[in-house]
Amino acid sequence: MDATIVSDIENHYPVLLKEVISVISPQHGGTFIDCTFGRGGYTTNILKYQNTKVIGLDRDIDSQIIGKKIQKKFTNRFLFKNLNFGNLNNLKLKDENVKGIVFDLGYSFSQIKDLKKGLSFNSNGRLNMKMGLNNFSAEEAINNLEGKEIEKIIKYFSDENDAKSISRNIIKERKTKIIDTQELVKIIEKSKRKKNYKIHPATKTFQALRIFVNQEISELIKGLINSAKILKKDGVLAVVTFHSLEDKIVKYFFKNLSENKSISRYQPEFKQKEILFKMPLKKPILPSKTEIKQNSPSRSAKLRYLIKQKNVFEIESDIEKKFSYLLNIEDFGLKL
């Protein structure tokens, strides 16, 4: 059995791979859920260990091509599902010994470069941004939502200081429909007060629209809650984040579950009866200098993980209440 930490799937570099494998310990066997299957980087390395089984989830139907290749090689040990990870509770896992659940919340290089998806400000195509299993596109959002709604999306999902100016100019320019990524980039550039940038001026707005179109806040919160329920005793929940908003949500949820205190200081009547999860490290694991040199997008990655202490499958967390202001913004999509 070769358990070398490598990734040979189409030159894909799964972020913090060595660290993720170390944390979830597949050498001990069990079922693992790769919630962001993508190009199969984590999955292929978990399957190097003989007593493992992996269920790979991805909303992007294009990932099914890689999934079929892996399924041919590991017929009885791998299953691919085209599913939002927020719905992983729909998997029939009653008899599965779920020992590890992994999330890598970043976009792959192939997704960013796919012009049909229109995820990047470098794209020359339609304002799509749909990752799969979506109800609306970025084009529909910016051409139909109210100015105040667009402003809130940009401000709260990316911490963009010029959200008001950008949304105002979007409303002004959409009298003739905005359909192309570069049209939006030009609107953003002229809306920015500062003209010297460390990052591309459209970076934050595109991040905000991707989060909104793919309902990433509600999907992450549902995914975390359902993962905590599904894991078996000694199972590990590992999450790799790439921006501060994701990390803020994960950090809060992990702290919430691993501390023996009231569920919320605003709801003192609800007490955590037992410490259900252990958080071994308070600070996140960061990529090494070597990894950043080999794969520059990994520079913003943070890995946090929890270990389940008890076989309890109902949990209490106030995470939905804590981030209700973000969930309410996502609800703007209901009118599209």
Mean pLDDT along residues 203-222:
97
> pLDDT category, 71, cuts 50, 70, 90?
very high
pLDDT digits (tens, 9 = 90+) for 251-289: 999 999 998 543 334 444 445 467 789 999 999 999 999
Q: Residue 276's pLDDT is what? A: 84
Say how far apart CA 104 and CA 233 lie, in whole Å.
22
Are the beta carbons of 80 and 68 closer than 8 angstroms? yes
> pLDDT category, 110, cuts 50, 70, 90?
low
Say how far apart CA 103 and CA 33 lie, in whole Å.
9
Q: In this model, does residue 82 exceed pLDDT 50?
A: yes
Mean pLDDT along residues 64-91:
95
Q: Residue 94's pLDDT is what? A: 77
Asked which of 2-16, 110-124, 224-238 is least confident by mean pLDDT, the reply is 2-16
Q: Residue 263's pLDDT is what? A: 38
Q: At what angle do helices 216-230 and 203-213 cross, to 10 degrees?
A: 60
Q: Which residues of 174-213 are buried (b: 16+ CB within 10 A; e: fewer)?
A: beeebbbbebbbebbeebbeeeeeeeebbbbbbbbbbbbb
Domain ranges, ordered by start, for the chain:
17-104+216-313, 114-214
Q: What region does 234 belong to: left with phi over 0, alpha with psi -120 to 50, or beta?
A: left
CA distances from 226 to 2, 41, 50, 323 (A): 32, 23, 27, 17
What percentage of the chain has pLDDT greater than the value 70?
A: 89
Q: Residue 314's pLDDT is what? A: 80
Average pLDDT value over all residues in the chain: 90
Write the CB contacts of 179 (distance below 8 Å, at least 6 apart in sequence): 126, 127, 139
CATH domain 17-104+216-313 topology: Rossmann fold (3.40.50)
Higher pLDDT, 72 or 93: 72
> pLDDT category, 234, cuts 50, 70, 90?
very high
Structure tokens at 292: 């950043």
Same fold? 17-104+216-313, 114-214: no
Mean pLDDT along residues 153-164:
97
Residue 90 is classified by DSSP as: G
SS3 at position 240: strand
> pLDDT category, 3, cuts 50, 70, 90?
very low
pLDDT digits (tens, 9 = 90+) for 16-59: 999 999 999 999 999 999 999 999 999 999 999 999 999 999 99
The class (CATH top level) of 114-214 is mainly alpha
Q: Residue 122's pLDDT is what? A: 84
To which residue do tokens 């939006």 refer?
A: 184
Q: What region does 216 belong to: left with phi over 0, alpha with psi -120 to 50, or beta?
A: alpha
